[in-house]
Amino acid sequence: MNQPLITGVGITNFGRFPELTEEALAQSAILDALTDAGITISDVQAFYCGNALGASLPGQRALRELHTKGGAVYNVDNACSSGATALNLALQALKVGQYDTVVVFGMDQLSSLGGGPLQLSQHDWNNKRGMIMPALYAMRAKRYLYEHGLEPETLADISVKNRKHGVLNSIAKFAKLATREEILASRAVAEPLTLLQCCPAVVDGAAAVVLSTKPSSGVAKPVRVLASVVQSGLFETEPVDMTEAEITARAAKLAYEQAGIGPGDLSLLEVHDAFTISELLYYEALGLCDRGGAASLVASGATALGGRVPVNPSGGLLAKGHPPGATGVAQIVEVCEQLQNRAGARQVQGARFGLTQVTGGGIWGVDHAACSIHILSL
């Protein structure tokens, strides 16, 4: 089996750029990743594109002006997990020797779609009744707070933390500091979630990575992928615990087994904090603490920069933004730069192992449609 390495990374600003196309965003990220890897586009044998909300053939549209050789382009739509799923597929091809150098990129431009929450299928009866993502996570939040005797301030503290991280990240154009009181006083979305506890819904951006089994001539030391796991949600035939992130816990168990490490070995994590309650649930599902221990973990400062295991040093989705097709790849870029000691003011000192986790989709009858987890190391 060949050992694929991440040899270059590239990422655009995440913000609102209606004057740009998602193709232009992707091209910028791809060219930056190629430069970082010390190669040209003619060295790339295949491209894997994660895209959730664009038009058909997104990969080919992004690449047509970059003068590729006409090699394979794989388009992957797995909702918010699209980019991370594309990475999983690319790793499989490299390991069996189908290719020796590929590019994985993700992109979405939500400013072209207008405002409001992401559109879900109206063929699903619960979506027709208004069970969109903010409503679902509000229900989870209310149940979690009730079961553990907590107040909404615990949720707000996640947003405070991630916004502090985000202002240190130059690409996070929405990142602004906010106090607990400001977050709780922001416009109500779905009780107990307020506006500043939800990731921005209209964000454009792209990210890309180069993977290769050939010796690297890149700017920084290559990064190893110790684990790459994709799982799908289970169809729920009876009542379930809304405070348990089952698909993430299942995927994490497989990822830790692949990597040969446990949650106690992690130096940092990038997780899918689409809403503040999400990050709390993922602390427990990923094994950072026991069930019910997430609030204490936040309060201790362990998951902030300078703490034992910083979570979302990039600012996460809450502060950086969430173009769905790009998010999974953007998480990989952040962890690579942290491991390579290239993260600047938000650098996690002595970072050795990093984990990324992204879920995707909302369809009737399952917790999440997809979950992708990667564990990286130098």
The catalytic position among 80, 198, 199, 336 is 80
Burial (CB count within 10 angstroms: exposed 0-12, middle 13-18, buried 19+), residue 290: exposed
Portion of the chain with pLDDT greater than 70, in percent: 94
pLDDT at 11 over 60: yes
Answer yes or no: 198 catalytic.
no
Determine the average pLDDT of the residues in 312-316. Answer: 98
| Overall average pLDDT of the 44-72 stretch | 94
What pLDDT is recorded for position 112? 80
d(CA 273, CA 319): 10
* Single-letter amino acid code for the residue at 303: T
Mean pLDDT estimate for the chain: 94
Q: Break the chain into its structural domains and give their ranges.
A: 5-114+204-212, 125-200+221-377
Q: How many Cα neighbours within 13 Å face the side chain of 313?
A: 30
Nearest residue to 277 via CA among 254, 260, 295, 264: 295
Per-residue pLDDT for 362 more than 80? no
Q: What is the mean pLDDT of residues 42-71?
A: 94
**Per-residue pLDDT band at 364 (split at 50, 70, 90):** low
Instruction: Determine the pLDDT at residue 309.
Output: 98
Overall average pLDDT of the 318-342 stretch: 97
The one-letter code for the residue type at 256 is Y
CATH classification code of 125-200+221-377 = 3.40.47.10
Q: Does the structure show a pLDDT above 90 at 189?
A: yes
101 token code pair: 């150098």
- Maximum average pLDDT range among 7-16, 62-71, 106-115, 363-372: 7-16
pLDDT in tens, 219-272: 999 999 999 999 999 888 888 888 999 999 999 999 999 999 999 999 999 999
Sort 363 into a burial class: Cβ within 10 Å, 0-12 / 13-18 / 19+: middle
- Token pair of 285, please? 């599902």
What pLDDT, on a 0 to 100 scale, did the predictor assign at position 129? 64
Give the contacts of 265 (CB within 8 A, at least 6 positions apart): 352, 353
Q: Please give the C-alpha separations between residue 362 and each of 14, 86, 120, 144, in angstroms, as whole numbers.
A: 23, 19, 7, 20
Is CATH 3.40.50.150 the classification given to domain 5-114+204-212? no
Asked whether residue 367 carries a pLDDT value surpassing 80, the answer given is: no
- Chain center to CA of 119: 19
**At 368, is the pLDDT very low, low, confident or very high (cuts 50, 70, 90)?**
confident
Per-residue pLDDT tens for 138-174? 999 999 999 999 999 999 999 999 999 999 999 998 8
| Mean pLDDT of the 92-99 span | 97
List the strands of the sheet with 353-360, edge to edge: 72-76, 46-50, 101-109, 204-212, 5-11, 223-232, 370-377, 353-360, 268-270
318 is written with which tokens?
């809450």
Across the range 162-190, mean pLDDT stands at 96
Least confident of 1-5, 24-28, 42-46, 335-339: 1-5
